[in-house]
Amino acid sequence: MKIRSDTEVGARIAALLGERPQRELADAVGLQPSVLSRALAGERAFNMSELVDIADYLGVRVESLLFDEEPAFVQRGKASDVAAQAAIDHCSRLIDAMLQIETVGR
């Protein structure tokens, strides 16, 4: 399982957005269109609350935006206990780091 870069997250969101206008997504999640455009291009990272709102808008799980494959703990019944625990630990560290970065930016 690989964590997507900011550029890859932006590309994933753009792909899921499809033909819908970026402005519609920006309005739905409370971002300025220019800020959304920069984030989709990988020039600015999305924060966790933005990713949650975007995932809700797109009808997907946040994990599908952040990871190149479904994490083991989401793949019900497909992973061993060791793999599931490793994935959970990895995600917990990632979320903690993202929340710390977001707090520092305020």
Mean pLDDT of all residues belonging to the chain: 82
Q: Decide: pTM greater than 0.75.
A: no
* Domains of the chain with CATH codes: 6-104 (1.10.260.40)
Q: List pLDDT tens digits, range 4-53.
A: 899 999 999 999 999 999 999 999 999 999 999 999 999 999 998 899 99
pLDDT above 80: residue 67: yes
Least reliable range by pLDDT among 1-5, 63-67, 95-99: 95-99
Handedness of CA 72, 75, 80, 84 (dihedral sign): positive
Q: Which of 34, 33, 30, 71 is closest to 47 using CA atoms?
A: 30
DSSP label at 18?
T
